[in-house]
Structure 1
Amino acid sequence: MTETAAERYRELTALATAAGKQVRKHERETAERLGEQVAAGEQRKEESAQVRDELVAEVKQRWTAAMQVVWDERWLRSSGVPAPDRSAPDATPSESRVAVHEAFEALRDAVTKPRLPTDFLPRRRK
C-alpha cells in the first residue's frame, strides 16, 4: 500500500497534535505541582517568621526582666539589648527559649544570693 503525501501529512500532523497535547498536559501538571510546593514554602516561611517574632519578643521580655533584677547593681552598666551573636551554635526555637530561660535564672540567682554571711559581721556596740 502506497501512501499519498496528503495521507502522510495528516498522519504526521495528528502525531504532532497528540504530542503537543501530551506536552501541555505534562506542563500543566508540573506547574500545578510546583505551585503547590511554592505555596507550601510560603506557608513555612510565614510560620517561621511568626516563630522568630515570638522568640524575639520573649527574649526582649527576658532582657527587661533581667534589667529589673540588676537595677540595684549600679556598677553593672547596660546599653540596651545586645545584637544577636552570629557565632552562637544553631539551635531550635525551643532550645533557644530554654537557653534564655536558664541564663535569666542563673543571673537572678547570682544577684539575689547573699554576698556575705550575716553571722560573720561583728555586732554593733551600743
Structure 2
Amino acid sequence: MSEVPASARYKELIATATSAAERMREHEREKSARLAQEVAAASVRIEEAAEVRDEVVDEVEKRWKHAMQALWDERWMRVTPMPAPERRVAPGRAEDLIASVQSAYLMLRRSLEKSRWSPSLRRGKNPE
C-alpha cells in the first residue's frame, strides 16, 4: 500500500470542501430567488385581497346608506349607525357576499313597500 502524502490529501479535502461550499451557495441563490418570487406573488395576492375587501366594504356601506334612506319615513324605528363587521361570518367570494347584502336590502325594500295602514282601511273599506 502506498501512502498518500498529506499535502495531496489536504488538496483533496480542500477541493471537496470548496465544491460543497459552491453547491451550497448555488442552492441558497436558487432558494433565495424562489422565495423572492413567492414574496412578490404573496404581495400581489395581499393587494388584490385588499381591493376586494374595499369593494365589499363600499358595497355594504352603500346598501346601508340606501337602507337608512328607505327607513327615513319609519319614525318608530330606531336607526343606528352601521355596525362593525361580523368576524364570525364564514369567508366567501366577494360577489357572493355582496349579493347576500343586496338580497337582504331588497327584502327590506319589499317589506317597506307592503300596504301600510291608512284611514280607508281602518273601517274595513276596501280601497279599490
TM-score bucket of the superposed structures, by smaller chain: 0.7 to 0.9
Deviation of the 1:117 alpha carbon: 8.5
Instruction: Give the equivalent residue in structure 1 for 2:49.
Output: 48
State the identity as a percent: 41
Deviation at 1:2, TM superposition (A): 3.2
Give runs of ≥4 in structure 1 deviating > 6 Å. Answer: none
CA drift at 1:47? 0.5
What's the CA shift for 1:115?
Answer: 2.4
Matches within 5 A, 1:13-92: 13-92=14-93
Unpaired runs of at least 5, structure 1: none
C-alpha displacement at 1:87, in angstroms? 3.1
Q: Distance in 1 between matches of 2:45 and 2:88?
A: 25
- CA deviation string 1:22-53 (max 9, x = no partner): 00000110111011111111110110011101
- Give the equivalent residue in structure 1 for 2:13: 12
2:105 aligns to what?
104
Paired amino acid for 2:25:
R
What's the CA shift string for 1:40-90, capped at 9, x where partnerless?
111101100111011101110110011111110001111211112233333
RMSD: 1.9
AA matched with 2:77: L
Count of residues in correspondence between the two structures: 123
Q: Look up the equivalent residue of 1:111 and give its one-letter code.
A: L
Secondary structure of the 1:102 match is helix
Segment of structure 1 superposing worse, 114-123 or 82-91: 114-123
Q: Which amino acid aligns with 2:55?
A: E
